[in-house]
Structure 1
Amino acid sequence: MAREKKRRPTGRRSPLAAVALIGAGLMITGGIYAGASAAIAATDTQREVLAEVSVDDGEKLFQANCATCHGMNLEGTPNGPSLIGVGELATEFQLATGRMPMQMQGPQAPPKPPQFTQIEIESMAAFVQSVAPGPTYPADRILDGNGDVAHGAELFRINCAMCHNVAGAGGALTEGKYAPPLTEVSALHIYAAMVTGPQNMPVFGDMNLSAEDKRDIISALLFQQEAVAVGGFTLGSLGPVSEGLFIWIFGIGALVAATVWITAKSN
């Protein structure tokens, strides 16, 4: 009689193989995690070193990122204006709001997420201030938001609402320019805009608006940022433009729909 050949069992694996696969997976995952943690720790260490900044650190950052347009000594070039006399307040504003460095030439530098850390920004601002001093940071009291809100709102309506809208929602200007919304702007940057006059913004010196007036305006805007819209939908706070558009689209649209429905029912 012919011997029966023994067939190897199919579809079964040794339990040790599963344990080995799990162990290998854990080792690989652990190695990747350890490598990523080391890289993050190295980055954090570099930032901690940079946290103890000096004017020299700011100069290196400026020369690497800004000198192409503004010159090695802030003298300006055909691609960018001089920064002599600009001061650290304007420098911090432009960098912290992401307006600088510009991505492309245009009517206006739009705000965007900043490309540098706050420490790096303050380092470059300190360097600019050391080369050619200009407007500097205000006292904490000016930014505390505890000024006269009613007086600040009145000053805002008189001096700012024609461009920024009475609700601070922003508005269009000429030649592709615009006044940005103030609904999320920090107190420091509101002050910096009033003092330094970035782009199309006029400069409000102490002869126009005193430090207390600026404090009141900042307090009014901060109050408005946190206020609840008691009237319902704000529609962007753009006034009759958005309200009229809403009426045309939804109001008249609802009337047309009702007319069609009544006509269909009668037929």
Structure 2
Amino acid sequence: MARETPRRSKGRRSPWAAAALIGIGLLITGGIYAGASAAVAATAPTEAAATALTAEDGEKLFQANCATCHGLDVQGTPDGPSLYGVGELSVHFQMSTGRMPLQMQGPQAPQKPVQFTDEQIAAVGAYIQSIAPGPTFPDEEVLDGQGDASEGGELFRINCAMCHNVAGAGGALTEGKYAPALYETSPLNMYAAMVTGPQNMPVFNDMTLTTEEKRDIISYLLFLQESESPGGFTLGSLGPVSEGLFIWIFGIGSLIALTVWITAKSN
């Protein structure tokens, strides 16, 4: 007698079907919600973006991030100098280059990634400027790079090249200090450095360098930033030192290797 083959009943589902349906539903719901949130964020400006930060906001930022070293009343402490008279221009230079807040004590504050937005930096600068006014931002014309680059190069070689190198490549100073390279420095920070004299740099007031001369120097440095090296490899723009080292290692080294090869070949 033939044995009947049991048939699988119609409509029977896998035990994983319910879990799969729930997962697909959650993914679809989450995708719709994320898309709607992104659309709302793109079309409706947030209150933070619509409201400009004020000097009062800058005071709060200062107390939270700077007062440990500079004091609650910016009077300075054993770990940091007083900020009276430094002005918003110095604040912009130090914070927009990441030098402040200081990560650790050392010969000088190194440049590092910026920790604050432009609005926050401006707010802190406005707070410092409101307490004790100091150097402020120049006219846009000073930073436009349209000055006399030739005259600026002469002024740079006389006043700056002994530390920053004639090509703006920077250089070592004493006791672990150094003059930074200027290849990526913004025009505003070039001006700020000349006016405020950060760290080891002297202050170039209008009696030393007029505003027009500062504009010429900035134009020269911008020209260096935009110009390619006509000789190919810059070798750090250190002049005869790096060039001589390159020739000694690769030039003479190649001649020695060629001599050894010829001798071995002849033998």
Cα RMSD between the aligned structures? 2.8
Decide which moves more: 228-237 or 174-183: 228-237
Once residues 40 and 260 of structure 2 are traced to their aligned partners in structure 1, the CA distance between those partners, rounded to angstroms, is 66
Once residues 230 and 24 of structure 1 are traced to their aligned partners in structure 2, the CA distance between those partners, rounded to angstroms, is 63
Q: What is the TM-score normalised by the length of structure 1?
A: 0.88
Deviation string 1:28-84 (CA, Å, 9 cap, x unpaired) is: 76278459849987xx7364145x121111111111111111111111111111001
In the other structure, the counterpart of 1:244 is 244
2:103 aligned with 1:103:
yes
| Aligned residue type for 2:242 | S
Q: 1:250 to 1:101 in 2, by over 3 A?
A: same
Q: CA deviation at 1:115?
A: 0.2
In the other structure, the counterpart of 2:124 is 124
In the other structure, the counterpart of 1:154 is 154
Deviation string 1:101-129 (CA, Å, 9 cap, x unpaired) is: 01100001011121000010000000000
Once residues 28 and 250 of structure 1 are traced to their aligned partners in structure 2, the CA distance between those partners, rounded to angstroms, is 65
In the other structure, the counterpart of 1:93 is 93
Once residues 109 and 264 of structure 1 are traced to their aligned partners in structure 2, the CA distance between those partners, rounded to angstroms, is 55
In the other structure, the counterpart of 1:223 is 223
| Aligned residue type for 2:71 | G
In the other structure, the counterpart of 1:173 is 173
> Residues 49-64 of structure 1 correspond to what in structure 2 (within 5 A)?
49-50=50-51, 52-64=52-64
In the other structure, the counterpart of 1:45 is 46
Deviation string 1:118-146 (CA, Å, 9 cap, x unpaired) is: 01000000000000100111111111111
In the other structure, the counterpart of 1:27 is 28
Deviation string 1:212-243 (CA, Å, 9 cap, x unpaired) is: 11010001111111012112111110112211
Gaps of 5+ in 1: none
Once residues 99 and 234 of structure 2 are traced to their aligned partners in structure 1, the CA distance between those partners, rounded to angstroms, is 28
User: Match of 1:154, SS?
Assistant: helix
Once residues 195 and 47 of structure 2 are traced to their aligned partners in structure 1, the CA distance between those partners, rounded to angstroms, is 34
Q: 1:21 to 1:266 in 2, by over 3 A?
A: farther
Deviation string 1:243-265 (CA, Å, 9 cap, x unpaired) is: 12211221122112212321232
Q: What is the TM-score normalised by the length of structure 2?
A: 0.88
Q: CA deviation at 1:172?
A: 0.4
Once residues 212 and 95 of structure 2 are traced to their aligned partners in structure 1, the CA distance between those partners, rounded to angstroms, is 26
| Aligned residue type for 1:195 | V
2:184 aligned with 1:184:
yes
Once residues 41 and 95 of structure 2 are traced to their aligned partners in structure 1, the CA distance between those partners, rounded to angstroms, is 25
How many aligned positions are there?
Answer: 259
Once residues 246 and 126 of structure 2 are traced to their aligned partners in structure 1, the CA distance between those partners, rounded to angstroms, is 49
Once residues 190 and 83 of structure 1 are traced to their aligned partners in structure 2, the CA distance between those partners, rounded to angstroms, is 20
Structure 1 ranges of 4+ moved more than 6 A: 38-41
Q: 1:205 to 1:255 in 2, by over 3 A?
A: same
User: Match of 1:254, SS?
Assistant: helix
User: Match of 2:133, SS?
Assistant: coil
Q: CA deviation at 1:20?
A: 4.1
Gaps of 5+ in 2: none
Once residues 34 and 260 of structure 2 are traced to their aligned partners in structure 1, the CA distance between those partners, rounded to angstroms, is 64
